[in-house]
Amino acid sequence: MNLSGVLFFPVTPFDGAGALAEDVLAEHVRRGLAHGTGGVFVACGTGEFSALSHSEHARAVRVAAETVQGAVPLLAGAGGPLGAALEQARTAREAGADGLLLMPPYLTQGTAAGFAEYVRAIAAELPVIIYQRGSVVLDPAAAVELARIPGVIGLKDGLGDIDRMQRIVLAVRREIGPDFTFFNGLPTAELTMPAYRGIGVDLYSSAVFAFAPEIATAYFNGDDRLLTEFYAPLVELRSKAPGYAVALVKAGLRLRGLDVGPVRAPLTDLTPEHLAELDAILKNGLALVGA
């Protein structure tokens, strides 16, 4: 699977009644495609995966697949209880997704062998990128064993432990080869990309791309001014409340004129004060890139 450039994680829009806003999702995905994303990850963390019903998840993947139409790889979120993850995998496959981002299992903590069996069952349905965060914390040997499972094609890192990741990258590339995909999946990944590039990981997901693709693309093309002038203040704002990693993206989209609705509980939307801060940060970033 050829993932490249900036990876796009759309939000899941909701209408005034709280239902999935399919037309808005389609428009959101079209805008990302128009700005040259190298991969679309629907119904994942930024898409409020944990707040979606099975039917909403299936419909979101279908809408994204009908919009992407094979232009770039499309991956869907899957995870939680094994039975639920298998249902998500099967409906994603039927909708036309190319692969899955496998979220950590919730609450239940098993052995490394048990997690490998969990991954093996889901990877039999569609190619899988494992998401390292929460209960999934790998050492190099465990990462190599997971990478040997047929259908496991990559690892998204949401921990930010550079020492651990360097050892994992070296071990997997030595034992598996250069085609295994690694990418930085930390919130506001651009701020940590200098460190990840230092260990040989150039690919990353961009929450900013979802609401300000002009800024995300300018950074990708080498405008390092944005680290100080845009990304650093954005991360400061993100740290002011749990869940703002998603709420900021939805608020940014609303500020840009796309009504994606609110976040779902237990997440909360920005306070008026924080929304004003985001507006100022966003305007400054857009001015820097001439947008």
Residues annotated as part of the active site: 131, 156
CA dihedral angle for residue 136, residue 263, residue 22, residue 18, rounded to 10 degrees: 120
The C-alpha atoms of residue 243 and residue 266 are separated, in whole angstroms, by: 9
3-state secondary structure of 186: coil
Give, as one character, the DSSP assignment of residue 38: S
Nearest Cα to Cα of residue 38 among 80, 1, 89:
1
Measured in degrees and rounded to the nearest 5, phi and psi for residue 7 equal -85, 135
Alpha-carbon torsion (182, 135, 127, 10), positive or negative: negative
Measured in degrees and rounded to the nearest 5, phi and psi for residue 128 equal -125, 135
Interior angle at CA 85, CA 259 and CA 56, nearest 5: 25
- Contact between residue 82 and residue 115 where contact means Cβ atoms under 8 Å apart: no
* The two structure tokens encoding residue 88: 């998500």
The C-alpha atoms of residue 50 and residue 189 are separated, in whole angstroms, by: 21
Residue 46 known to bind ligand: yes
3-state secondary structure of 6: strand
Q: Report the Cα–Cα distance between both ends of the chain, in Å, rounded.
A: 32
Would strands 152-157 and 181-184 be described as parallel, antiparallel, or unpaired? parallel
Residue 144, C-beta contacts closer than 8 angstroms, at least 6 positions apart = 171, 172, 175, 176
Please identify which residue in the block is written with the tokens 């999702």: 25
Summarize the annotated binding site for pyruvate as residue ranges. Answer: 46
